Amino acid sequence: MEPMAMNLILVPRPSLSLHPSQRVSLGNPVTLRCHLPRLAAWVWLYQEGGWSYNKGKKKEQDAAEFSFASTLREHAGRYRCQYRVSESAEVSVESDPVELVLTDLRYPPSRISLHPEQHVGTGTNVTICCWNKDYGATFFLHKDGSSDPIQRQDSSGGDTATFTLFGVTPADSGTYRCSYRPWHYAFMSSPLGDSVMLEVTPTAAPPGAAGSSHGNLVVAVVGGCTAAFVFILVLIIIFLLSARRHRTQRDESPGAPPKKPEAMEFQLCPQVPSSDSEGLTYLELQAVTPSTQPPNSPIAPQPSVIYTEVAVRGHH
């Protein structure tokens, strides 16, 4: 029963896993498990470019298993799974792929070397070289404790690959090995080869580094405070000069009343002139001093009387 004849509806995607999850030797059993987010009536397992398997589900299980009791070369490859929801025509999309790589013990294991040395400090670049005898292949770098290879690289010249670990840290410490896959068998692998041990030690800070850092911090803080104080002082000076200039311009503005000098103003009094017995005529003049009091002030200033001599008939 093929799902192609049904309408594809977007239901939750299944996932596919491999058991055992690590390396499987040729001839050993292996199980592919399709995990179902919903109850399924049918489950299909596809091998890319090869086999197709299907299995009906009668029990309420959350996974469907497909097992090979004794693996063959033709079982190696890339797989996906898909399912149909129970009692409906809903069909899921295919799962993400998993690769079934079989180890063939007939391939000789690769050799390995480590540079510059086994014990290095933090931040060192470490080079690991892998090579085989005469197989053109893709090499894989493995670290003990990791289920998948940590790096892969096509061989240079057919039999050698160089892996570089940049700026290593203590987390990079461990045991490393190599394997390879011949170019004409992409899912057949050599067994893991010889191992090398890498030990990364933390690099201690140089003596006085902490004190130097503290001193630099103090200098930076003091410098920042000084710069801030100078900046504020400049702002204050600019503000004071601006205020002074504004006050000066206001005093000298055209609208300001001019300052009157304190001067005597003379005016003729409206009195009839009189003459004395000596033929002199005296004219009374009133001296008026500018007053700062308002016109309606109840207190009037007392006028001063000044006499001046006027020439009459040629005599003074």
pLDDT per residue as tens digits for the range 51-73: 888 888 767 788 999 999 999 99
Alpha carbon distance 181, 173 (integer Å): 26
Whole-number percent of the chain with pLDDT over 70? 66
Rounded Cα–Cα distance for residues 144 and 138 (Å) = 20
Average pLDDT estimate for 267-282: 43
Mean of the pLDDT values across residues 127-147? 88
For residue 160, is pLDDT > 80? Answer: yes
- pLDDT at res. 297: 43
Q: What is the pLDDT of residue 77?
A: 94
The confidence score (pLDDT) of residue 282 equals 43
Q: Which carries the bigger pLDDT value, residue 75 or residue 208?
A: 75
Give the integer Cα–Cα distance in Å for 95 and 85: 15
Is the model's pLDDT at 177 over the cut of 80? Answer: yes
Which percentage of the chain shows pLDDT scores above 90? 43
Distance (Å, whole) CA 228 – CA 224: 6
Backbone dihedral angles phi then psi of residue 169, each to the nearest 5 degrees: -125, 170
Helix (H) or strand (E) holding 217, with range, is helix 209-251
Write down the mean pLDDT value for the chain.
Answer: 77
Domains of the chain (ranges; CATH) run 3-103 (2.60.40.10), 111-201 (2.60.40.10), 265-292+301-310 (no CATH)
**Token pair listed for 151:** 């790096």
Cα–Cα distances (Å) from 145 to 20, 142, 174, 225, in that order, read: 15, 9, 9, 54
| pLDDT at position 124 over 50 | yes
Give me the amino acid identity at 190: S
Distance CA 42, CA 54 (A): 7
